[in-house]
Amino acid sequence: MDRIFTLEEARLLMPDLLAKADDVVEARADLVELQSALNQGTASPLGGLPEVKALEARLSETLGWFTAEGLDLKGIAPLLLDFPAQLNGDDVLLCWLEGERELRWYHRPEHGFAGRRRIPGDRGGTDPGGAPAGRS
């Protein structure tokens, strides 16, 4: 059976998700740069074909972590992930997009990304200590 997240479970996974997402972004950028250099026949300070293969393996492993945790991987550039969940008894997908530092959006499965809405009751989120998140 596929995993169904509570909002709390999904938000507890966010620190690990963000660390993995940062790794994906870095590896993806390095891979694109390396592949471009190889295609143009130029040298890259990032290496050559062995480093391309290593980055591909790193990306595959990291992307596999998301699915192993029960997330739906919707895209890798930008990274887009859905958490199957229920809100108020309705099946929804809690939606996270690369660049977001908190989980604050959802959509119904049949509406897709274009139907994203703010999670009900979300007032900007809080950090684990209860302080407003993202404020400095």
Q: What pLDDT, on the 0 to 100 scale, is given for residue 122?
A: 80
Q: Where are the domains of the chain?
A: 7-118
Distances (CA, A) of 67 to 15, 37, 57, 81, 82: 16, 31, 16, 9, 10
How many residues make up the chain in this entry? Answer: 136
Predicted TM-score of the model (pTM): 0.86
List pLDDT tens digits, range 71-130. Answer: 999 999 999 999 999 999 999 999 999 999 999 999 999 999 999 999 998 865 443 333
